[in-house]
Structure 1
Amino acid sequence: MAKKQDKLWHAMDSQRTLEALETSREQGLSGSEATARLNRYGRNELPEGKKSPAALKFVKHFNDVLIYILLVAAVIMALLGHWTDTIVIIIVAIVNAAIGFVQEHRAEQALEGIKNMLSPEAQVLRDSNPAAIEAAELVPGDIVLLNTGDRIPADLRLLSSSNLKVEESALTGESTSVEKQTEALEEDAPLGDRTNMVFSGTTVASGTGIGVAVATGGKTELGKINQSIASVEEIRTPLLQQTARFGKMVSVVIVAVAALMFGFGYGLRDYETGELLLSVIGLAVAAIPEGLPAILSIILAIGVQNMARRKAIVRNLPSVETLGAVSVICSDKTGTLTKNEMTVTSVVTSMHEYGVTGTGYAPEGEIIRDEDKVADPEQDRTLKHLLICGVTCNDSVLTEEQGQWKLQGDPTEGCLLTLAGKAQSEVTELKTRSKLPFDSEYKYMAVLTEYEGRSVIYIKGAPDRLFEMADRQAEDDGETPFDADFWNGQMQAHARKGQRVIGLAMKELPEDSSPEQIDHDDLKEGLVLLGLAGIVDPPRDEVVDAIRECQNAGIEVKMITGDHKETAMAIGEQLGIGDGKHSIEGRELDNLSAEELKEAAQKYSIFARTSPQNKLQLVEALQSSGNICAMTGDGVNDAPALKRADVGVAMGIKGTEVSKDASEMVLADDNFSTIVKAVKEGRRVYDNLKKTILFILPTNGAESFLIMASILLGTMIPLTPIQILWVNMVSSVTVSLALAFERIEPGAMKRPPRNPAAPLLSGYYIFRILFVSVLLGGGTLAMNMSMLSNGYEQAVVNTVTMQTIVLAQMFHLFNCRTELGPAIRKGFFDNKAVFVVSGLLVVLQLSITYLPFMNRVFGTVPIGLPYWSFPLLMGAALFVIIELEKAVTRGIIRRRHESVDASGNGDHSAAA
């Protein structure tokens, strides 16, 4: 019994299954044997995942090389007795960690969400007697009794099935409830085709059955998904990877330059060791963009709020930016690209073809006859009987709750109720005298009722079965012999369109006949075929436009579904995914090597009959080719791939809690087009993040330039470490915040996704940062040396120096509102936040200059009005020079584009 749970149970017949599990269908397990197996296999529960304590999560946010340098600086400042500086540095580090901790939201709840799917109890046979036991005590070999509405407690091999249908869409992606049977299947049957099995966490939609437990706990298909989610390695977003590389690079440069400056000052300049150490610490603090992590988090949080207003709920901050880099969206079909509401879209009788408008369960739409006329059942005898058959031979109930139509019962039956509701005249359900329930052996359902005083039997079922039974077909003015070739052709034509086809028929009993019961023998002759109904799970109305917009933005959309190949290709063609001719199934993917899988992931757009493992493998294969991959889905079967994807996107209304917990983003309106809005916001956020870096780093560069020049020249250090921290934080967290509200750049959704391997700072950005740093640092140094040579006090010089850097950055903020475009342009006043933060900055700078307690903490002094002239002139000059530089750069790029056009190459991106 050690490896019994690993067998291919679906490929074994019932008797062999019972023998392998050493159990009896009539008696079940004995109490003692059940206890022994419970000790052997463990409880029927999913394994607990390890959880990190909150304190450990908080401490992890200090694990950054730049923070290490900052903390070392704080320790040295404490040893030198500069306690105020030490406290301020530590506060800055704690604030950064706190922001990261608050925004962190891990997917640990995914495992809890799966546990909530498990059944609380099970009906089993123990010692030959039915017994209700706690589902956690179920063991392999238990005989389980199933009834309508039951949550299935374990993976079961069915021993008997009576009209048993199971809702498996959350696990397999199947859009309709699955009819079950008991015969053995082929070994390579995909999960969705294992009709002799039922799986833990799914629900009995109708009928009854008996099964033997073959897998419990972590060995079930649900358990495998649970294990897959827990073992999936979460990948870092492109932004986090870029900032990590950037942080390491900056830290190496800072440490190297600080060591060189200390060596130079100690060996070649007459500095006291303590004073020189203080200066070097000031240099390190100046070079560290300590406000950058905080401002990045704030900008991303603003992006989260913007997306929430557009119905996209982001659960992980960096995912906002990642959306802007997405190059492939892998989408589940059922409930994501489609409504997961079966809809009759066509009806065929022997004389007419009817199109049906409207989608979903809402009875809104029309039945159009022969493409040009609204059909009226009162004037169309065959259509009327077909509609009456659909609503009378039906066990489902359709209700409206707060504007939403909800179905209780089988989706295939529910859509027939909706069809009748779309008729121009009312179609009434007739009272049933006798019923033959649907049975998988017969593949039809029949009811005995009365129509216009005459007994009538209505039948609904599989078309091929009704074709075998019918000997006549209904026409406008009577009946004619059944035309098998015509109806087989119609069935195949609708199937090629991805439609599920259901047949409807009737039999009028003799006028003097009024039976109270019917049986299958009553249907052996006299059956009149009314027609066929073509049923689809319709695409969402807005999805076609959304997919087209994705493709215009260079984003490829792939459909990965558990549904059948033909259905997937037909729906895909309607949506603009694939060509309707090429697709690949999960069983084919299982036989591919890693390299072949990578090639197939790129080649195909439609992936059908996929397992949860297939979805995960495809996401990984696409990522291995350098794609930034988003995965959408709503079922439990999507959860591992959702977690592994760069951005997992779950459906908020119809999505399972498991899929939501495994994802980074939830669509509150289940609207695929919301993803496009989220991508647009992601690109805007990333552009604004780059503008923020372009704005912040020159402050650090200018301060570093000042301190290094002072050490090299042997002059007084122009700013203390605490003043440097003030400049850095006020520039970062106050002024640069305004850039988060800049609108999206023109053409942002017409360019391809950015290369995730590209460095955070391009060559042009490095040039701009160095250019501004030298301009600002050099100008401030000249002013600083002039004031010192004229005998001004060090505190006055420090105060004016600090004001110069801060106010010049305020002017530079307007340069950075566009990367290369002119600062003064149409829409200059659109971003009101720029003007608000500029006013706030002025207030802060006046406070640090004129409030006594601020003077004591930061070592500043009040200055007269004439001292403000240089900061203002420096800021205005910097603004004008950078605008001239941008104009020159635009001209160079334009000439390169013209050169590329003239050569006929057409690769504008290379020229840029």
Structure 2
Amino acid sequence: MSSKDVIIEPKEEEEKVEYHLLSIDETKSLLHTDVTTGLTQDEATERLQRVGANELYGSSGTSTLKVFLSNLFNSMNIVLLIALIVSCCVQDWVEAIVLAVVIVTNTGIGFFQEFKSEKTMEALKKMSSPTARVLRNHEVNVIPCREVVPGDVVYLEEGDVIPADLRLCEAVNLEIDESLLTGESVPAVKQVNKLEVKENEISVGDRTNCAFKNSLATKGRGIGIVIGTGLKTEVGKIAVMLEKSESKSQSGKTPLQKTMDRMMFLLLGIAIILAVVVFAVNKFKITSEVLLYAISLAVAILPEGLPAVVTVTMAVGVRHMAKEKAIIRRLAALEALGQVTDICSDKTGTLTQSKMVVKSCYIGEEDFEVTGVGIIPEGKLMRKAPDSKKYTEEVPLSEINQDSQRLDLASMVCALCSTSSLFYEKEENAWKSIGDPTEIALVVFAQKFGYTKEKISEKYEFIMEHPFDAVVKRMTVIYKNKETGKYLFLSKGAMESELSICNNYMTKDNQIEQIHPDVGKKSKKFMMKFASRGMRVLGLSYAFRDTYDENMTREQAESDLIYLGIIGMYDPPREESAASVRMCQEAGIIVRMATGDHPATAKAIAAEIGIISKENMNKKNVVMVASDFDNMKPEDVDAMTYLPLVIARCTPQTKVTLIEALHRRREKFVAMTGDGVNDAPAIKMADIGIAMGKGGSDVTKQASSITLTDDNFASIVHAIASGRRIFTNIGKFTLHLLSGNVSEVVLLVLGLFFKDQNVSVFPMSPAQILYLNMVTSSPIALALGVEKAAKDVMHHPPRPLSSSLFSFELMLDTVIYGLLMGVLSLVSYIITIIAKNGSDLLTNNVNCNESDGIEEEKCKIGFLARGVAFYVLSLLILVHGFNCRHNRKSGFFTKQKMNKALLFSFILGLILIVPTAYIPVINDKVFKQTYITWQWALIGFSILFFIAFSEVYKAIKRRVWGLDLALIDLEYEDEEDVEEEDLDDDDDDGEIKEIKPNHQVV
């Protein structure tokens, strides 16, 4: 392969060059460069022209006009726009104004909510390092990062942001924080030797001889050859995946949105049919009165208030979730949360604290446990109580703080053999740390027992430091005792490395004896034990010497030491993680971990927080390495009985592959959480993307639907519970609004047959219809939208994806309640007419549809009947609000806690209805009705009959269907417990069966 193939023409095969498997000389030859001279300026300029700038190119961004039009011309607004146009054509300005207000409200709220988010790809661009130190023409020059090209020789120092992907050719104590790509909390130690060829692809986290764009050098220095720039870097590949998935995610709609679209177009079709019926009844004599009635009937079937109520309910939910530490960036994501069946979570910073802490140690032939979390230097050292396997006996400080004793010396190694620091920030009232996370954990451990550099420095003077070396895998410092003049050598590093430089060891009795093979065996036993629990293990050793020579070599300093033991530390789970995972499992949600960490670490953390149970720890495919999972064909993945619960050594593509595999399975609605750039493509592709707000990158936040301000997995559980509540409430107010619309249609359609001289007399005026839809129904619907969540809302499985908001039960309820209210209103209308006019019904009421005055005697009966029908329907709609709080339990005779917003809306509705019949001008000029007298008895009977019928109807449903947890919202403190089947973890062949959504994970 020529240089041109690799550098000059960035073809597809360029991506296949595995530089980590090449030697330094092979890399130099392939890229035509020299680490002693660098590229010439002419070569660099030519390569820059051919391969392009070292930038991450994104899309042009979201157009303001495009966002506005997408919110204006959605299915709901299209239907309302048609009604608005027709209303304007017939000069029904009152109705037109109301419809316009609804459309503007819906469009405005949706537009401003969506346009708050910044452009995802712009966040990627801002991540680039502004400058880089590059060798060109024998000189190291500082150039803009965008001008770096393949073949450039880059110099790195501590604190530098890596400007491009590099193949390292020199690494002196070099450690790089690659958490944004790998998710690992511990900086990667770098070396320069080529890696061995493996059967499977070596993941980014294991490419120890490479450095990657946008990662951070935390220690040491190095030199690297640029092997990839721009979109050819690892972070660039993420940008490409993110841009591809972005268009897909933006075009998709949530199940509720799709259902609402179908419903609105269905109602539009029904409205057209009803208009034709109106024309047919009037023998297609389309006068202004007939056209007005057709429009009124169409408006009656359309729930104008539904879009506004849905949007306002969502907005209220957004504000509520903000208090719960979750920022909702897309309103639709809130209702979709209730359908989540799987949560794929990153480990570091999401399920864990992203802070290393010492958990266990094996010092002087005895093992201990350490309490305390985070970087707060508070905790205890615990040992096993006599005749017990539990660490319940506290080691007193007097035993730890003894000069030259095993625990004293171990604490001194942790405190002094470090370049990190721990301090208390008074202004923020919090502990702060600077340095490597592993060293910080050791410093915190020592400070728990009173050992700080400042305190020890009173007695000991710093002499010399041999920094950590990737070859020998240890660090050593030398201090001098100011009182005795003796020198103290302290060393920490890999256990095998420390054992190799020790001739003696300290026993449990603080005696020094010659080291023997059993010492290494016991240490290895505990090292494996600690590692199986997800810990990183370091060995500790020391020596007292009478003399020290400035010319002493590192090899001489690190010889003939005394072995103390090992210390184990790990990134601990958040305190809430285990409880949150358990709550998810109780809610039928499977929690999966996808992390860049080592398999043993990921497996241990997953077991500790309950993602996998102990009995299933070693079962096939419960835990998989990303390279194995990535190399499987899609059909092989689909053939798996169950997908892995833990995937370690993940790449960005691994997480995307996992989500794709879940989407191919039945009834899977996936949420993805994470904080690093490596999580962004998967977060964008998931049904619900959840980013960490505090520790997360800008890219991840912008790709997400939800951002957690406290980086706490527990907040996800609260968000899901809120999503379930909102969806349930949407069902409640949808039932209320639609049943109200059905009742109006029943009244208006049957009212067509009441004629005077072959002209239909309207049983309800257009103003009355709009009043019912907007003033009577909407406040009640809004109150139903803010119903509180049930206490056990997370104790039943998520609703299936195949289910719809408009279930059979909801549609049946809509028809039953709608027919009942419409018929009761119509019967009241008829009885009022008969009582006044006898069998003549509406004779002499011609032209009362548009009459402006009640003084006309011939319209008096029609106006009175309208008033009675209007009052019956208005009050039934108000009462029906309480009925809609529960679909199978009584809305009136229950211990259910009162919804104050619903009670307020009911009282407000009673007050506002009075002027429509009893205040002159308003009653006859606007609503075309008159005041009511004895008919109040008729209205009262209708309300009582409705309540009685509703109770009988619900009793029948309970008898036939029972109280199905999947169909009802659990609101009651006295709700019966519903037992579920227990799931056997194992089948006959020893494998885990596919996890059912309403059972705990294996």
Q: TM-score, normalised by structure 1?
A: 0.93
Alignment partner, residue 576 of structure 2 = 542
2:738 counterpart of 1:717: no
Per the TM alignment, residue 237 of structure 1 is displaced from its structure 2 partner at its CA by 2.1
Which residue of 1 is the match for residue 177 of structure 2?
167
Matched, 1:802 2:870: yes
Which of 194, 198, 208 aligns to 1:195? It is: 208
From the superposition, tell whether residues 302 and 629 of structure 1 become closer, same or farther in structure 2 (CA, over 3 Å).
same
Match of 2:301 among 287, 296, 308: 287
Match of 1:183 in 2: 193
Deviations 1:656-711 (A, max 9, x none): 22222221222222222222222222222111111111111111101111222233
Asked if 2 retains the 8 angstrom alpha-carbon contact of 1:505 and 1:527, the reply is yes
Q: CA deviation at 1:176?
A: 0.2
| Match of residue 325 from structure 1 | 339
Aligned to 2:856: none
Instruction: Give the counterpart letter for 2:687 in structure 1.
Output: D
Q: How does 1:518-667 map to 2 (within 5 A)?
A: 518-523=552-557, 525-578=559-612, 579-581=616-618, 582-600=622-640, 602-625=642-665, 626-667=667-708
Letter aligned with residue 806 of structure 1? S
| Cα shift at 1:826 | 5.3
Report SS of the residue matched to 2:414. Answer: helix
Structure 1 counterpart of 2:439: 413
Q: Is 1:149 equivalent to 2:165 in the alignment? A: no
Letter in 1 for 2:877: Q
Cα distance in 2, alignment partners of residues 144 and 815 from structure 1: 72
Q: Distance in 1 between matches of 2:521 and 2:230?
A: 51
Q: What is the distance in 2 between the residues matched to 1:221 and 1:794?
A: 77
Residue 316 of structure 1 is matched in structure 2 by: 330
- Give the alignment of 1:235-274 within 5 angstroms: 235-259=252-276, 261-262=277-278, 264-267=280-283, 271-274=285-288
SS of match in other structure, 2:339 = coil
Identify the residue that residue 514 of structure 2 maps to in structure 1.
481
Per the alignment, residue 758 of structure 1 pairs with: 803
Which stretch of structure 1 is more off in the superposition, 207-216 or 361-370?
361-370
CA distance in 2, matches of 1:274, 1:888: 46
What residue is the counterpart of 1:428 in the other structure? Answer: 456
Higher mean C-alpha displacement, 842-851 vs 383-392? 842-851
CA deviations over 1:286-309 (Å, ceiling 9, x no partner): 111121111111112222222222
Q: What TM-score, normalized to structure 2?
A: 0.85
- In 2: Cα distance, 1:271 partner to 1:710 partner: 18
Contact 1:471 1:481 in 2 (8 A): yes
Aligned residue among 708, 725, 733 for 2:778: 733
Q: Distance in 2 between matches of 1:416 and 1:861?
A: 83
2:953 is aligned to 885
Segment of structure 1 superposing worse, 87-96 or 9-18: 87-96
Query: What amino acid sits opposite 1:303 in the alignment?
Result: G
Kept after mapping to 2: 8 A contact 1:346/1:535: yes
1:769 CA drift (Å): 0.8
**What is the CA–CA distance in structure 1 between the aligned matches of 2:234 and 2:579, rounded to whole Å?**
36
Structure 1's consecutive aligned runs of 4 or more residues displaced over 6 angstroms after TM superposition are 424-427, 904-907
Q: In terms of mean alpha carbon deviation, does 465-474 or 818-827 score higher? A: 818-827
2:138 to 119, 128, 135: 128
Contact 1:151 1:202 in 2 (8 A): yes
Matching residue of 1:374: 395
* TM-aligned CA distance change 1:52 to 1:787, over 3 Å: farther
Report if aligned partners of 1:460, 1:505 keep a CA contact under 8 Å in 2.
Answer: yes
The answer for the alignment partner of 1:901 in structure 2 is none
Long gaps (5+) in structure 2:
1-7, 385-390, 838-858, 966-978, 983-995, 998-1002
**Offset from partner CA, 1:469-525 (integer Å, 9 cap, x none):** 21111123321122332223332232222211101111222x2x1434642231453
Q: Choose from 912, 915, 918 the match for 1:844.
A: 912
Once residues 33 and 548 of structure 1 are traced to their aligned partners in structure 2, the CA distance between those partners, rounded to angstroms, is 59
What do residues 204-247 of structure 1 show as CA deviations (whole Å, max 9, x unaligned)? 10111111222112221112212222221214223223222333
* Alignment pair present for 1:773 and 2:818: yes
Structure 1 pair 847–146 and aligned structure 2 pair: CA distance change class (3 A) = farther
1:78-101 deviations in whole A, cap 9, x for unaligned? 333333433332332222222322
CA shift for structure 1 position 381? 0.3
SS in 2 for 1:835: helix
Is the contact between residue 652 and residue 667 of structure 1 (CA under 8 Å) also seen in structure 2? yes
Q: Does 1:29 align with 2:33?
A: no
Instruction: Write the letter of the residue equivalent to 2:36.
Output: E
Partner of 1:683, secondary structure, is helix
**Alpha carbon RMSD of aligned pairs, Å?**
2.7
CA distance in 1, matches of 2:159, 2:895: 59
Q: Contact 2:868/2:932 (CA < 8 Å) preserved in 1?
A: no
Letter in 2 for 1:436: H
Q: What is the match of residue 490 of structure 2? A: 458
Range moving further from structure 2, 547-556 or 277-286? 277-286
The reply to whether residue 351 of structure 1 matches residue 352 of structure 2 is no
Cα distance in structure 2, aligned partners of 1:237 and 1:174: 33
Structure 1 contact 810–875 (Cα < 8 Å) conserved: no
Q: Give the superposition deviation at 1:455.
A: 0.7
> Where does 1:665-684 land on structure 2 (aligned, <5 Å)?
665-684=706-725
Query: Structure 1: 5+ residue runs without aligned partners?
Result: 898-903
Q: Distance in 2 between matches of 1:66 and 1:737?
A: 18
- d(CA) in 2 for partners of 1:55 and 1:477? 77
Query: What is the match of residue 360 of structure 1?
Result: 374
Residues 809, 875 of structure 1: 8 Å contact kept: no
Distance 1:461 1:327, change over 3 A: same
Contact 1:286 1:721 in 2 (8 A): no
1:439-461 Cα offsets, whole Å, 9 max, x none, are 11221111111245311211111
1:821 equivalent in structure 2: 889
Task: Go from structure 1 to structure 2 and tell me whether the alpha carbon gap of 1:895 and 1:59 turns closer, same or farther (over 3 Å shift).
Answer: closer
State how many pairs are aligned.
900
The yes-or-no answer on 1:467 pairing with 2:508 is no
Whether the 8 Å contact between 2:279 and 2:286 is mirrored in structure 1 is no
For residue 72 of structure 2, give the secondary structure of its aligned residue in structure 1.
coil
Q: Is the 8 A contact 2:593 2:645 kept in 1?
A: yes
CA distance in 1, matches of 2:112, 2:925: 29
1:79 is the counterpart of 2:120 = no
Q: What's the CA shift string for 1:139-191, capped at 9, x where partnerless?
A: 22211111111111111111111111001112111110000111222361111
Rate the CA distance shift 1:299–1:639 in 2: closer, same or farther, 3 A.
same
Identity in percent: 34
Contact 2:76 2:261 (C-alpha < 8 Å) held by counterparts: no
Q: Which shifted more, 103-112 or 650-659?
A: 103-112
- Residue identity opposite 1:111 in structure 2: M
Distance (Å, rounded) in 2 between the aligned partners of 1:241 and 1:108: 26
| Alpha-carbon distance in 1 for matches of 2:690, 2:145 | 32
Q: Report how far residue 771 of structure 1 moved.
A: 0.9
Residue 445 (1) aligns with residue 475 (2): yes
**Which segment is superposed worse, 690-699 or 103-112?**
103-112
The change in CA–CA distance for 1:905 and 1:374 in structure 2 (over 3 A counts) is closer
Partner of residue 208, structure 1: 221
The answer (yes or no) to whether the contact 1:122–1:144 under 8 Å persists in 2 is: yes
Distance change in 2, residues 1:872/1:597 (3 Å): same
The Cα shift of 1:409 comes to 1.2
Match for 2:280: what amino acid? F
Partner Cα separation in structure 2 for residue 172 and residue 785 of structure 1: 75
In structure 2, what residue type is equivalent to 1:667? L
